[in-house]
């Protein structure tokens, strides 16, 4: 891509971002106070197994003190009654999509960062399938420069580097150069079908020591399927995508991992058999971690009776047995993390027949409240279990130091109100897109504030 085009794209909205940075300081003055005391908040920290009611003092971008009571905070400290609220480490998202560059009508880096902060995410790793893709250092430099122009405080954006040129799965990208330029790791976000190329990639990447994320999916087996094959696909008259499209590819991938010894993260596990294969691989000592998406934990094929195109996903929603196996796999630690796989599309792109709709849904602002409501409030998971797979687990998979809610640590934290009621509308969402099954629904639970101490 020509340098002039990159420069043009970078400079286009810079004046707006600078103006927005000033507006933010007025709209959210507590973000800029010298110190703030959160009284009687429920403190969650998966790293230490903490679940307690306490006062938390935040000052200078640091967590200064956590105690049953802090009766004498420093002068000029803002005091907030946080009874009924939950405070935990900032959430981390393993993989999401940005519309920018190439499809800014879907999402910009600015709107993505706003959506992440509104959803409690302080770290977001962006997949490289932008236009142009992140398969060379020049595009990476553009995205890092653009994300730095967006208002602060803001979630930290990390960028996956492409495994293959154009994320086409045909030819190795500039892996060493991307590693030197500072990618978070390597992932196409699309299946690498050529096993010989996959082996060469893993052999080449092993000494680089960066995370490698792969999505197992056999295109010839998936064919034109738009929902998971089973009784519901027959009942709804939609083309079925068989579970073996995932598991055959996963079994082959694990063989390559065993042959190369390269650490690999398995993305988008969506089937019961996939969970079993991952569990067996871990028991055999293979260097693998795995994740599923929040939607695959919440819904299954029975939800497709609505033919809502926001449920057209890839991989598709599993059958009920798949959903239950994924929930068990997460609780047992077989599945290490839950990702949002935030995939924005415009109204026009999704307003088509179910089988013709592009696959994907938004999730950054919805994952925490809906998972909390469905799993924690029902007693199926503990609050710590949910917070672990949304914060500590993803950070570990990215080979990053997880955020911790402890005295002396940087203030990378999220304040959540499980009872706050709000309606999901285009006007109440920070993302530019509204492709979600819950559009128009009244939800309970929303993030009140997100702190991030800038580096």
Q: pLDDT tens digits, residue range 254-265?
A: 999 999 999 999
151-160, 204-213, 249-258, 362-371: which has the minimum mean pLDDT? 151-160
pLDDT at 2: 35
- 131-173 confidence digits (pLDDT tens): 999 999 999 999 999 888 775 556 789 999 999 999 999 999 9
Query: Does residue 24 carry a pLDDT above 70?
Result: no
Q: Which is nearest to 64 in space by CA: 36, 88, 42?
A: 36
Cα–Cα distance for residue pair 322/243, rounded to 1 Å: 10
pLDDT for residue 319: 98
| Catalytic status, residue 280 | no
**Tens digits of residue pLDDT in 425-443:** 999 999 999 999 999 999 9
Arithmetic mean of pLDDT, 210-222: 97
Report whether pLDDT(30) > 60.
no
Specify the pLDDT at position 452.
Answer: 87
Residue 15 has pLDDT above 80, yes or no: no
Residue 20 has pLDDT above 60, yes or no: no
Domain-embedded: residue 335: yes
Task: Give pLDDT, residue 148.
Answer: 81
Separation between Cα atoms, residue 132 and residue 138, nearest integer Å: 10
| DSSP at 403 | P
Separation of alpha carbons 341 and 354, rounded Å: 19
List 45, 232, 341, 417, catalytic entry: 341
439 inside domain: no
The DSSP line for 101-119 is TT-TTT--HHHHHHHHHHT
305 pLDDT tier (thresholds 50, 70, 90) = very high
- What is the domain range of residue 164? 90-413
- pLDDT for 16 beyond 60: no
pLDDT confidence of 22, banded at 50, 70, 90?
Answer: very low
Residue 399's CATH number: 3.20.20.140
> Looking at 59-63, 273-277, 290-294, 307-311, which range is the least confident one?
59-63
For residue 266, the cross-strand partners are 214, 290
pLDDT of 26: 25
Identify whether 56 is part of a domain.
no
DSSP output for 253-292: HHHHHHHH---EEE----SHHHHHHHHHHHHTT--EEEEE
Query: Measuring CA to CA, which residue among 326, 150, 311 is closest to residue 246?
Result: 326
Is 35 inside any structural domain? no
Q: What percent of the chain has pLDDT over 70?
A: 91
**Is residue 42 in some structural domain?**
no
For 48-83, what is each residue's pLDDT tens digit? 999 999 999 999 899 999 999 999 999 989 999 999
Contact, 264 vs 397, CB < 8 A?
no
333 lies in a domain? yes
pTM of the model: 0.91
Residue 380 resides in a domain: yes
Provide the number of structural domains found in the chain. 1
Determine, yes or no, domain membership for 66: no
Is 90 in contact with 48 (CB distance < 8 Å)? no
């Amino acid at each position: 891509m020509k340098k002039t085009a990159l420069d043009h794209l970078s400079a286009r909205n810079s004046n707006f971002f600078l103006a927005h940075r000033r507006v933010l300081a007025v709209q959210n003055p507590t973000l800029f106070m010298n110190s703030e005391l959160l009284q009687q908040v429920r403190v969650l920290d998966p790293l230490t197994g903490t679940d307690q009611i306490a006062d938390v003092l935040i000052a200078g971008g640091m967590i200064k003190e956590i105690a049953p009571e802090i009766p004498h905070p420093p002068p000029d400290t803002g005091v907030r009654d946080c009874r009924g609220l939950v405070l935990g480490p900032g959430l981390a998202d393993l993989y999401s999509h940005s519309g920018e560059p190439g499809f800014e009508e879907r999402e910009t880096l600015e709107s993505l960062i706003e959506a992440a902060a509104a959803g409690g995410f302080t770290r977001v790793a962006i997949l490289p399938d932008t236009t142009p893709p992140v398969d060379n250092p020049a595009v990476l430099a553009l995205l890092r420069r653009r994300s730095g122009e967006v208002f602060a405080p803001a979630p930290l954006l990390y960028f996956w580097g492409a495994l293959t040129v154009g994320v086409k799965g045909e030819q190795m990208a500039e892996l060493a150069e991307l590693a030197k330029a500072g990618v978070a790791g390597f992932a196409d976000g699309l299946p690498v079908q050529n096993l010989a190329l996959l082996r060469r990639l893993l052999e080449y990447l092993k000494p680089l020591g960066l995370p490698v994320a792969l999505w197992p999916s056999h295109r010839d087996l998936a064919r034109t399927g738009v929902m998971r094959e089973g009784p519901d696909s027959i009942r709804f008259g939609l083309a079925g995508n068989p579970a073996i499209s995932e598991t055959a590819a996963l079994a082959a991938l694990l063989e390559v991992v065993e042959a190369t010894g390269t650490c690999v993260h398995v993305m988008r596990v969506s089937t019961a058999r996939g969970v079993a294969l991952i569990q067996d691989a871990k028991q055999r000592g293979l260097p693998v971690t795995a994740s599923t998406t929040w939607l695959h934990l919440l819904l299954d094929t029975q939800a497709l009776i609505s033919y809502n195109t926001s449920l057209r996903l890839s991989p598709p929603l599993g059958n009920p047995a798949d959903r239950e196996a994924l929930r068990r796999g997460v609780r047992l630690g077989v599945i290490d993390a839950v990702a949002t796989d935030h995939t924005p599309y415009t109204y026009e792109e999704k307003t088509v027949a179910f089988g013709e709709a592009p696959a994907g849904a938004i999730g950054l602002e919805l994952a925490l409240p809906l998972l909390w409501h469905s799993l924690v409030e029902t007693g199926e998971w503990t609050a710590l279990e949910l917070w672990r797979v949304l914060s500590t687990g993803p950070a570990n998979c990215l080979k990053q130091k997880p955020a911790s809610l402890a005295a002396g640590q940087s203030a990378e934290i999220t304040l959540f109100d499980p009872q706050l009621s709000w309606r999901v509308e285009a006007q109440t969402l920070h993302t530019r897109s509204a492709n979600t099954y819950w559009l128009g629904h009244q939800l309970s639970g929303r993030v009140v504030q997100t702190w991030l101490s800038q580096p």
